[in-house]
Chains A and B, each alone.
Chain A
């Protein structure tokens, strides 16, 4: 056909757009899937609403009749617990981050292929261990194991000028300190962070890595130049997710930590800041009346903090749109 033939004049589209035939099955199905999505939003909103409603009698109510507050202002009761939660979670994050990055790098770039697959499974199995098990292990074995080590620390670096803000004595006789709890928490959040970091490192474009090696870089330099900059967003989101998990962890902290509502930076002493979740677990079984509302109010504070941390993490991940598999 000659290409210079004019195409037939296009007909104007008929009045009104053409709609696909709506089948009842389609309506039902799409409606129910939309409904399911909305249910999730409703549940999340309901959680927030119920927590707020149940917290009000504690925050705005009479502190004198409150069995837990006993006349104390709600915020002076709750804020030390918030400090405790943040402090132990940040400690756990600080301990776990370099190790998680190290393990992820080991699995993705240093270990032989077969070993790497096995190691990946093992780390994921670590994620499956229930938190009561960590609590049992921490309380019955780990704290006793660490105690002599803590005693040595307080005697040596606990006397140095700046470090004595964190490591001075008198050392706890049982080893159930915030440092032990942070170590147990870091063991628990390692798998999540390792999994995410491993995924990100594996996604580094091979060409970048090969190019660096071709230019004579050592393995570490290749990692530093090609892998780490690419993975920055993923590592941050992994850290945030680990932080989120550490903030909410209940049973391990309850069973391992000897905590009180204090604000202290000492890591090795008997008096340690208590976390919100552990406080709720300790007192809820025996709470009644407005005491329950007080505990729920502290739970609301925890909810807001974890919500914020997770939101920031997801926002960071979403900015790197080309990164997939970031669960």
Chain B
């Protein structure tokens, strides 16, 4: 019988589990870093009341410590390449969390402050003869609907026809290249410049101090047209050429082809891009201040040149904030937040409706 060997058998280390940090270690390191950071701040805060503890700073230092720890630990346990990988993951996740914070903060602030006035009075009263408490924003809601509606009526045909030209008739000629380039540039016009332009034009005909609903609609359409053009152009390009060819082969003239074949196919996408365009411009304030002005009364006539001011939701928010009622400034601030919440709801509804339409009615296209 052989004597029991005293030498130990060396088992080669498993290549799969060694050389890597254990699973879930980033979370553990995060917890550890937070504990350390809060401990440091608690010690610094010793002797002062608990409310003085700077939570935000503690969280910030915690994140910094996490990033440092995860890099160092990974460097020790794994290789340099893996350490860099974990570091970048940490940084990217941090970037994401940082970006979420303001959004959550904004939404929370608006919703929590705006709910106070989400009552029937707010939606059925204007500010005529209202001093202090009460009052509502129905004149602002109507103003926004009218101005935006008119803007849509002006910009949708022009935008749609332009994109039809670019896709169907342009064939990449110099004019369509120029139009595409300038349309792209126009997406960047600041709203205040559009407002200044429309104001200057109307001052020539009506004199200074003119305020009309249609001016706001025109300024808005200057902002909307490029967005509509870009969006619908994409949608029209998606339509398969085979459909057009089939229509031509049947002897249908080009214009009928566009109206009866191309447009219905892409109508869902076009509607979506129109809704998105409206959602993007409905919240713009600056040009409305210059063109449509401020009033407390309900004004339904967009073409009235004498006392033609119309109140709109973004201007209402701005006005209630800047010039609150002297006897009850809190009531004005409440109205401002409630109007901001209304605006937010309208915009989000438009966004969701637009996406919903595109999802349900979009044509099935192959391989994009």
Which A residues are within 8 Å of any B CB, using their own CB? 23, 25-26, 28-30, 32-37, 39-41, 43-44, 46-47, 50-51, 53-54, 98-99, 101-103, 105-106, 110, 121-122, 124-137, 139-142, 145, 148-149, 152, 183, 187, 190, 194, 218-221, 223, 241, 244-245, 247-251, 255, 277, 280-281, 284-285, 288, 292, 295-296, 299, 302-303, 306-307, 309-311, 314, 318, 325, 327
Contacts and interface: CB of A to CB of B under 8 A. Distances in A.
A137 B208 CA distance: 34
B279 A128 contact: yes
Contacts of A223: 88
Interface in B256-302: 256, 258-259, 279-280, 282-286, 289-290
B237 to A, nearest CB: 9
B11 interface: no
A128 B351 contact: yes
A306 B309 CA distance: 30
Given A130-B314, A218-B84, A125 B348 contact: yes
Contact of A133 (B93, B194, B343): B343
Contact of B106 (A129, A149, A277, A309): A129
Contacts of B321: 136, 139, 255
Contact of A314 (B93, B102, B185, B229): B185
Contact of A132 (B181, B208, B317): B317
A209 to B, nearest CB: 15
A149 B158 contact: no
Interface string B102-114: 1101100110000
A106 B92 contact: yes
B200 A50 contact: yes
Interface stretch (B22-30, B39-47, B65-73, B159-167): B159-167
A145 B208 CA distance: 42
B188 A310 contact: yes
Contacts of A44: 182, 185-186
B153 interface: no
B188 A128 contact: no
Contacts of A255: 318, 321
B192 A250 contact: yes
Contacts of B290: 284
B99 A190 contact: yes
Contacts of B161: 32-33, 35-37
A307 B95 contact: no
B244 interface: no
Contacts of B89: 110, 219-220
14 contacts: A33-B169, A35-B161, A37-B161, A39-B162, A40-B229, A54-B196, A102-B94, A133-B343, A142-B102, A149-B57, A218-B84, A221-B81, A288-B208, A311-B185
A37 B162 contact: yes
A110 B190 contact: no
Interface of A is mostly: helix
A137 B183 contact: no
A276 to B, nearest CB: 9
Interface stretch (B1-9, B123-131, B171-179, B324-332): B171-179
Contacts, number: 260
A148 B57 CA distance: 10
Nearest to A307: B185
A41 B182 contact: yes
Contact of A25 (B105, B181, B255, B279): B255
A39 B158 contact: yes
Interface string B59-88: 000000000000000000000011011011
Contacts of A32: 161
Given A102-B91, A248-B189, A51 B179 contact: no
A140 B254 CA distance: 57
B240 interface: no
B347 A122 contact: no
B190 A26 contact: no
A110 B90 CA distance: 11
B244 to A, nearest CB: 14
A34 B169 CA distance: 8
Nearest to A281: B286
B80 to A, nearest CB: 10
Contact of A306 (B102, B190, B197): B190
Given A106-B93, A149-B57, A250-B190, A220 B85 contact: yes
Contact of A23 (B208, B253, B350, B351): B253
B184 A125 contact: no
B64 to A, nearest CB: 14
A36 B314 CA distance: 30
A139 B234 CA distance: 39
Given A110-B93, A281-B192, A306-B188, A126 B103 contact: yes
A245 B191 CA distance: 10
Given A26-B254, A126-B103, A327-B234, A248 B191 contact: yes
Nearest to B103: A126
A130 B192 contact: no
Contacts of A135: 318
B184 A310 contact: yes
A250 B200 contact: no
A125 B283 CA distance: 13
A187 B343 CA distance: 19
Interface in B117-176: 157-162, 164-166, 168-169, 175-176
Nearest to A247: B190
A3 B299 CA distance: 81
B255 A28 contact: yes
B231 interface: yes
Contact of A129 (B57, B159, B188, B283): B283
B210 to A, nearest CB: 12
A243 B164 CA distance: 30
Given A51-B200, A149-B57, A33 B165 contact: yes
